Amino acid sequence: MPDITVENLTVNYVSNKKSVTLALDNVSVKFYSNKINVIAGSSGCGKTTLLKTIAGLIKESSGNIYFDNVNARQLTIQERNLSYVSQNYVLFPHKTIYDNIAFPLKIMGAPREEVDARVIEIAKSLDLTACLTRKPKHISGGQQQRAALARALVKRPSACLMDEPLSNLDPELRGEARKLIKSVFDKCGMTVIYVTHDFREALALADNLIIMDGGQVAVSGNPAAVYASDNAVVHGLIEGSKADFSEFAKKTDYEEKN
């Protein structure tokens, strides 16, 4: 699984009226293999633009992105071997959960035996075996979210990019889904880049935390170090959140003393 390195990446959006909006401003940052790399920040800070550019969905940019030592400009979207999970993880309503999960493999032309084996394997790991013959409307919201995650992982991507994947879930399901995501990716070992505006969620999931502001990286590193930093953007995220960070603050204090 590759490290993904972004060097001096700049992206401008040009509107129909030819006005230019700077979305990413000379961004340099590294996303580590076998880690959950979380990008956090307020709306409009450039999180999703960075994710889409890494995925190859935004072509017009300057700077470089490397998958290990390979420049992404030399790779097609398919050759990057990424999975992309957005906040609108729409499942095909007319297909069974089995067929939803199998869809990426069928597009790749995988043999039927391999499709069966992989779908059964990922369904078992995400507790979806009993749902495989059902359609999305007949399973719960949490099961639908797990099915979307299974579909993203079944092709065994080199990296998984996730853009606010839990934002449409209610608070209880969101907490359960966070634990699931953390557990799944800790076991499977791949490069994960996860975007969220929820700072508490960022702290709960991140092995490597990147805070963005105004199209730039404000601060990055170990979540405890980022949380304890004097960075004004971090303080703003803490103050602007309604979440209780007391437990994380105690954990951070313990880690610093030990």
Residue 247 forms part of a structural domain: no
Answer whether 0.85 is exceeded by the pTM: yes
Residue 236 lies in a domain: no
Full residue range of the structural domain in which residue 148 is found: 89-156
Q: Does 43 reside within a domain?
A: no
Chain position carrying tokens 């000379």 = 26
- Residue 129 belongs to what H/E stretch? none
CA angle at 126 for the pair 101 and 151, rounded to the nearest 5°:
20
Q: CA 234, CA 229: separation in Å to the nearest integer?
A: 8
SS3 of 31-98: the string is ECCCCEEEEECCCCCCHHHHHHHHHCCCCCCEEEEEECCEEHHHCCHHHHCEEEECCCCCCCCCCCHH
Per-residue confidence in pLDDT tens, the chain, 258 aa: 689 999 999 999 887 777 888 999 999 999 999 999 999 999 999 999 999 999 999 988 999 999 999 999 888 888 888 988 887 778 999 999 999 999 999 988 999 999 999 999 999 888 899 999 999 999 988 888 889 889 988 888 889 999 988 877 777 777 777 887 888 787 777 899 999 999 989 998 999 999 999 999 999 999 999 999 999 999 999 888 767 777 676 566 545 544
Residue 170 included in any domain: no
Please state the domain count of the chain.
1
Is 126 inside a domain boundary?
A: yes
Whether 182 maps to a domain, the answer reads: no
61 inside domain? no
Answer yes or no: is 152 within a domain.
yes
